[in-house]
Amino acid sequence: MTRAGAMITRRNRLKQNRSRFIRNVSLCGLLIIGILTGMFPRSSHADEWLKRPFPIDPDRQYAFAQSLYDARRFTRAAAEFERFVFLFPDHLRAFDARLQAARAYYSGGQYQEATAACNSAINEEPDRDVAQAYLLLSRCQVALNNFDQALITLHNLLSAAPAATIRDEARYLGAWIFIETARWPEARDWLQTISPHGRSRYSIEKLTSALSHTDKISYKNARLAGLLALVPGAGHLYTHRNQDALVAFFLNTASFWAAYEAFDNDQPVLGGLLSIVGINFYTGNIYSAVSSAHKYNRRSAKSFILDLKRRFSVRLIKGMDTHSGGVCVSFSF
């Protein structure tokens, strides 16, 4: 065979091998496509297995949600507890799941969601022991600065006459809400209604003794501050705001002196304008003095309340409420 013939034969073999490879690849591709598109029917057993719903065991679902809560993954835990309630609304642990969802939201700082979950637990299953739900609801309301609503919730709880330990806890929390808002007599009244066992548990005698010193809190009379401010700066001196007093005195003195000089130099228009400015400074000085007295009183009450919290290990949630003299608190479960 010549050299040219050998090259032709080799080329033909390469073409045949390439054709055979392409045919095999095509057959494999068709086979895979046929399987994926259902060209080959599945067995009836496989169809039945695929159609069966995946079973969710209530105990395992609850345990999973609780494990997330224990791991401090509170948002996820709340979602899983709510999933339990959705899947098993008639289960014996549905109420516990609702309450745990509320606790998870509360621990995660989602107080609005925790409030909704507490109300759900109370309204959906009123025949259950909802005392813990009421206590948690009141804590959520305290965290949201809804002090009066929290007291109403505690009153509703006490009217249901729960166990003595629950009543003591509700009264103790109520007393702290009154302390938060600097309502000392009401706080003492609520503390006095706690049972002997609860008085020992919550150190009521020490707390009552501490509250007896509220008359030593330094307060400033807002009306007196306003009257003193008739002399520019005197009201601020009364509330220990010396720099503000100095500024108020010089601004008012300068504005009225400038108005006097304008009138004295036959410039009535300028004098009138300066008089208006001076009157604004003067009235602002009086208003600021009264406001300074209120701020001084809030700071004094806040300092006293914070000292109580440190002495009785009450954990803070938020800063001072601008509408009261208190600071929000929470208690461990």
Report DSSP letters for 142-211, one per residue: HHTT-HHHHHHHHHHHHHT---HHHHHHHHHHHHHHHHHTT-HHHHHHHHHTS-HHHHHHTTHHHHHHHH
Among candidates 156, 191, 195, 159, which has minimal Cα distance to 174?
191
**Residue 231 gets which letter from DSSP?**
S
Alpha-carbon gap, residue 156 to 149, rounded angstroms: 11
Which residue in the block uniquely carries the two structure tokens 């073999």? 13
- Phi–psi pair at 300, nearest 5 degrees: -65, -45
CB 178 within 8 A of CB 138: no
CB atoms within 10 A of CB 205: 11
Among candidates 292, 277, 278, 286, which has minimal Cα distance to 232? 286
Say which amino acid occupies 66: Q
**Beta-carbon count within 10 A of 115 CB:** 23
How many Å apart are CA 19 and CA 332, to the nearest integer? 78
Amino acid at 14: L
Distances (CA, A) of 301 to 49, 69, 239, 295, 327: 69, 37, 15, 10, 10
Question: Which bin fits 56, alpha (ψ -120 to 50), beta or left (φ > 0)?
Answer: beta
H/E stretch holding 330 reads strand 327-330
Q: Under a CB-based contact definition with an 8 Å cutoff, are residues 137 and 119 in contact?
A: yes
CATH superfamily of 58-216: Tetratricopeptide repeat domain (1.25.40.10)
Q: Report which residue type is found at 51.
A: K
330 - beta bridge partners? 315
| C-alpha triplet 186, 189, 192: angle, nearest 5° | 150
Give the Cα separation of 251 and 239 in Å (integer). Answer: 19
Amino acid (one-letter) located at 145: N
- Helical packing angle, 147-159 and 164-180, nearest 10°: 160
For residue 264, the model assigns a pLDDT of 83
H helices present in 37-128, as ranges: 44-51, 58-70, 74-87, 94-107, 111-124
- pLDDT tens over the chain, length 333 residues: 555 555 556 666 656 666 665 666 565 655 565 555 555 454 455 455 445 555 678 999 999 999 999 999 999 999 999 999 999 999 999 999 999 999 999 999 999 999 999 999 999 887 788 899 999 999 999 999 999 999 999 999 998 877 899 999 999 999 999 999 999 999 999 999 999 999 999 889 999 999 999 988 999 999 999 999 999 999 999 999 999 999 999 999 998 899 888 888 888 888 889 889 889 989 999 999 999 999 999 999 999 999 998 888 776 443 323 333 344 444 333
pLDDT at 322: 31
Q: Which residues pair with 329 in a beta bridge?
A: 316
Domain chopping of the chain, boundaries:
58-216, 222-320
Q: Residue 88: helix, strand or coil by DSSP? A: coil
Tokens 């739900």 identify what position?
Answer: 133
